[in-house]
Structure 1
Amino acid sequence: MQQVEELKDEVKRMLIIAPGSNDQTLSEKLDLIDAIQHLGVSYHFESEIDEILNSNIMDHAADDQLKLYTISLWFRLLRQQGYYVSSNIFNEFKDDKGSFKASLISDVKGMLSLYEAAHLGINGEDILDEALPFTTTHLESAVNNHIRPHLAKKVKHALNRPIRKALPRLEGLYYISIYKEEDSYSETLLKFAKLDFNVLQSQHQKEIGGITKWWKNLDFTTKLPYARDRIVEGYFWIDGSVL
């Protein structure tokens, strides 16, 4: 637990570095927040993440020249935190005919980011309704066009289960296995995520053990033989709904 706390403090210091300082760009800052959430450890840094996303972070957007990837990621992270962001920011990625620019198709990383953002659209946001089939079609095509193996793996995973529809704990387990291949990979963050996962897993095992003991003492399998005897399954669904 001491090691967990030490690593937690290191990750927190990484978070509070302002974009533009120490050569950290806006895109790198957003990547860090996204990785923290993907790895399932964001509950340790809710106030820091909220403060960053609620600040004037987009004042640094010029550093990234408003790339599709950065804008889409910023949009999704804010929507996930419960903030309203106008989907009109994606209008600049359309051509004179009102369609998404053909040049975007070659930007697979940006398309993936827009695909994930589109899943957080609300009723009446036509541009996000258009973005979803546009990105889905071209991402499915990109997977078969010899893109980097790591990126192809992420695209396939997202097409099967976008972040919006994923269980955080299961998504964290998956992301731990591929995070080392990311360009923005941090050994400190990965080590912290692994330790945190093990700590939580141990806690879940203790809780299931206690519930199982309570269930057996009630002897429901004898008294109510028609009732479902699925302790772990029931615990998993409850745990998943809370997360």
Structure 2
Amino acid sequence: MMQEAWEFNSKHLKDLDDKDVDQNLVALVENALELPFHWWAPRFETTWFIDLYERKEDKNHLLLELAKVDFNILQGIQQEDLNDTLRWWENTGLRELTFVRDSFIASYLWALGISFQPQYSYCRKVITKAIALIIVIDDIYGTLPELELLTDAITR
């Protein structure tokens, strides 16, 4: 039943004559049809929404400025978190395992999707490390010296 409702709404929204509709609303609908709102990671679309709001004629300039400042502050905090966890990654020695995927940034993005709020910095770091280690363990089909190197890194 939900699938039928989705197909019905999608068809009619795609066929909508957008000449008589607010262009910001058209952009929101097109974006929602591409990927429904409830599937988004909360902060990954922030710049898209800020840009969309900036184009509104009746925008609140203070609210817009606050959104930009909030985004920049949070991005700075998240960059510090990433730098801290990258230093940890470099110190583990796991980069010496040449067969392991280098997907540390992807690990951080997963953590960011789970907890983006500034007060959850420690949580993001721990999740990033856990995902990175899971990826390493998943990639292991190594020789005894490589497995010993991994064991030493995990022990540290």
The two structures have a TM-score, normalised by structure 2, of 0.64
CA–CA distance in structure 1, aligned partners of residues 95 and 69 of structure 2: 37
* Offset, 1:183: 6.3
Equivalent AA in structure 2 for residue 238 of structure 1: A
CA–CA distance in structure 2, aligned partners of residues 191 and 161 of structure 1: 27
Per-residue CA distance 1:13-49 (angstroms, 9 max, x = gap): xxxxxxxxxxxxxxxxxxxxxxxxxxxxxxxxxxxxx
Cα separation, partners in 2 of 1:156 and 1:134, compared to 1, 3 Å: same
What does residue 190 of structure 1 align with? 64
CA–CA distance in structure 2, aligned partners of residues 145 and 187 of structure 1: 27
Per-residue CA distance 1:74-122 (angstroms, 9 max, x = gap): xxxxxxxxxxxxxxxxxxxxxxxxxxxxxxxxxxxxxxxxxxxxxxxxx
8 Å CA contact 2:10, 2:33 repeated in 1: yes
SS in 2 for 1:169: coil
Pick from 204, 220, 224 the counterpart of residue 78 of structure 2. 204
Pick from 70, 80, 105 the counterpart of residue 232 of structure 1. 105
Higher alpha-carbon deviation: 129-138 or 173-182: 129-138
1:181 partnered with 2:55: yes
* Offset, 1:170: 1.3
Cα separation, partners in 2 of 1:183 and 1:130, compared to 1, 3 Å: farther
SS in 2 for 1:209: helix
CA–CA distance in structure 2, aligned partners of residues 132 and 238 of structure 1: 30
CA–CA distance in structure 2, aligned partners of residues 168 and 216 of structure 1: 29
State the superposition RMSD in angstroms: 2.1
The runs of 5 or more residues in structure 2 that have no matched partner are 117-156
Larger-Rg structure: 2
* Offset, 1:242: 2.6
* Offset, 1:236: 0.7
Pick from 114, 131, 152 the counterpart of residue 26 of structure 2. 152
CA–CA distance in structure 2, aligned partners of residues 221 and 129 of structure 1: 45
State the aligned residue count: 115
Equivalent AA in structure 2 for residue 190 of structure 1: L
Equivalent AA in structure 2 for residue 156 of structure 1: E
CA–CA distance in structure 2, aligned partners of residues 158 and 131 of structure 1: 15
CA–CA distance in structure 2, aligned partners of residues 185 and 165 of structure 1: 27
1:136 partnered with 2:10: yes
| 1:44-55 correspondence runs (5 A) | none
* Offset, 1:228: 2.1
